Amino acid sequence: MKKIQMVDLKGQYAAIKERVNASIQEVIDNTAFINGPEVHAFQKELEDYLGVKHVIPCANGTDALQIAMMGLGLKPGDEVITADFTFAATVEVIALLQLTPVLVDVDPINFNIDIAAVEKAITPNTKAIVPVHLFGLAANMDAIMDLAERHNLYVIEDNAQGIGAAYTSKDGTKKMTGGIGHAGSTSFFPSKNLGCYGDGGAIFTNDDDLAHIIRGIVNHGMYERYHHDVVGVNSRLDSIQAAVLRAKLPNLNSYNIARRTAARKYTQAFSGIEQIITPTGFCNAGNSICDTCDCHVFHQYTLRIINADRDALVKHLQANDIPCGVYYPIPLHAQKAYKDERYNEADFTITNQLVKEVVSLPMHTELDDEQIDFLTKSIIAFVTK
């Protein structure tokens, strides 16, 4: 059996080596390392893929979130509601811009932001909601957009884990995640579903004015060379990373299908094991479990371990050279940097429970049946013993 990796970037590279090497070599030959033609070409190709009017490439997914918030003109003291159970980047940029983060609980079934909790947290100072399509599953965008419209709020989708997922609305229309809210962001960190070979990110919007503002912000607030109209940042996707992404984008759908196939095999193997809750791909529109639709791109395949010792399982797997991860072990509201007297433990019962139950299994495009069989058997043997 091939050694199991949490993420197998080497195996993925081997399959596209010639195409990637040729695109990188072209950038080096042309020496247009910053803002080269690859960046613009990638931008157009991603706009077409996502069906979104504007893609603005930038340096990483954290910058993308920050720049989206700057572009929307959020001001110190404005409240921004986001999930308690996610990667810290989301809340980090809110705090960095001196906006007020308002963390709310998540849904135990889809791990995404809890709609009732969002509604309860809205005050006259609320300006934006940042749903995260956590682990690759589209959040309930119908309900979020509806709340936002009723309360006049912006929606910024953190799509760092969900690129390539599609969300089907109640009315049957299907849109790619990231292009549904007023703005969206993603990350091209190497291990993300569409990863480059360094750091990278992008902002999405269908709003022409906002796109224009953001294009200036990413480039030192310049709309005309050496005229600095607004306070900006330096956040660029470099040409080599754009070249890698151009070589990989045509494979994104097949990568996501490979992930879903592996996820389905995991789920089949775990069926009937009462100590394990497998992740569900809930299509939020129909509220039924959907096996076939593409609302979940399985950035992570995350189990909940109940009535068994999650921490002991993690130790056991590590001791047997089986990689796994706990995403995330601490709720954001309990992190030192983001603790606040406003928060009440009773409002975070689901996150507080999930951090003790979750474990993410190896998930990438190169998992084979023998590895999945070995992994699932090892886990089942341990939790049922």
Ligand X SMILES: *Cc1c(COP(=O)(O)O)cnc(C)c1O
> Which residues lie across from 360 on neighbouring strands?
302, 325
* CB 296 within 8 Å of CB 136: yes
Q: Report which residue type is found at 325.
A: G
Which of 36, 61, 164, 178 contacts ligand X by CB under 6 A? 61
Interface with ligand X: number of residues (CB under 6 A): 15
Q: Is residue 177 a contact residue for ligand X (CB under 6 A)?
A: no
* CB 54 within 8 Å of CB 47: yes
Site for ligand X in 153-172 (CB under 6 A): 158, 160-161
Residue closest to ligand X when measured from CB atoms: 61
* Smallest distance from ligand X to CB 385, Å: 34
Q: Which stretch binds ligand X (CB under 6 A): 12-20, 40-48, 60-68, 328-336?
A: 60-68
Work out the angle at residue 199's Cα, subtended by the Cα atoms of residues 197 and 202, and round it to the nearest 5 degrees. 115
Q: Report which residue type is found at 45.
A: E
The two three-digit tokens of residue 169, written as one number: 């609305």
Q: Is residue 140 a contact residue for ligand X (CB under 6 A)?
A: no
* Smallest distance from ligand X to CB 241, Å: 11
* Smallest distance from ligand X to CB 181, Å: 14
Residue 147 vs 163, nearer CB to ligand X:
163
Which of 42, 85, 87, 204 contacts ligand X by CB under 6 A? 87
Q: Is residue 62 a contact residue for ligand X (CB under 6 A)?
A: yes
Q: Is residue 189 a contact residue for ligand X (CB under 6 A)?
A: yes
Residue 72 vs 276, nearer CB to ligand X:
72
For residue 127, the SS3 value is strand
Task: Give backbone dihedrals phi and psi of 170, rounded to 5 degrees, phi first.
Answer: -55, -35
Q: Is residue 82 a contact residue for ligand X (CB under 6 A)?
A: no
Q: Which stretch binds ligand X (CB under 6 A): 81-89, 263-271, 301-309, 338-346?
A: 81-89
Angstrom CA distances, 320 to 2, 10, 283, stand at: 14, 22, 36
Residue 159 vs 275, nearer CB to ligand X:
159
Q: CA 172: distance to chain centroid?
A: 24
Q: Is residue 197 a contact residue for ligand X (CB under 6 A)?
A: no
Residue 161 vs 360, nearer CB to ligand X:
161
* Smallest distance from ligand X to CB 256, Å: 16
Residue 83 vs 324, nearer CB to ligand X:
83
Q: Is residue 205 a contact residue for ligand X (CB under 6 A)?
A: no
Residue 12 vs 62, nearer CB to ligand X:
62
Site for ligand X in 119-138 (CB under 6 A): 132
Please tell me the distance from the alpha carbon of residue 85 to that of residue 1, in angstroms, as a whole number.
35
Core vs surface per residue 167-190: b (16+ CB within 10 A) or e: bbeeeeeebbbbbbbbbbbbbbbe
The percent helix, strand, coil of the chain (3-state, each to 5) is 40, 20, 40
Contacts 24+ apart (CB under 8 A), 69-73: 69/93, 69/94, 69/97, 69/99, 69/128, 69/156, 70/97, 70/217, 70/233, 71/183, 71/203, 71/205, 71/210, 71/213, 71/214, 71/217, 72/127, 72/128, 72/154, 72/156, 72/182, 72/183, 72/210
* Smallest distance from ligand X to CB 187, Å: 3
Q: Is residue 327 a contact residue for ligand X (CB under 6 A)?
A: no
Q: Which stretch binds ligand X (CB under 6 A): 30-38, 57-65, 333-341, 362-370?
A: 57-65
Please tell me the distance from the alpha carbon of residue 132 to that of residue 178, in angstroms, as a whole number.
10
Q: Which stretch binds ligand X (CB under 6 A): 87-95, 111-119, 252-260, 272-280?
A: 87-95
* CB 43 within 8 Å of CB 204: no
Burial class (CB in 10 A: 0-12, 13-18, 19+), 370: exposed
* Smallest distance from ligand X to CB 158, Å: 5
Other C-beta atoms closer than 10 Å to the C-beta of 113 total 28
Q: Is residue 89 a contact residue for ligand X (CB under 6 A)?
A: yes
Q: Which stretch binds ligand X (CB under 6 A): 73-81, 82-90, 210-218, 227-235?
A: 82-90
Contact set with ligand X (CB under 6 A): 60-62, 86-87, 89-90, 132, 158, 160-161, 187, 189, 199, 201
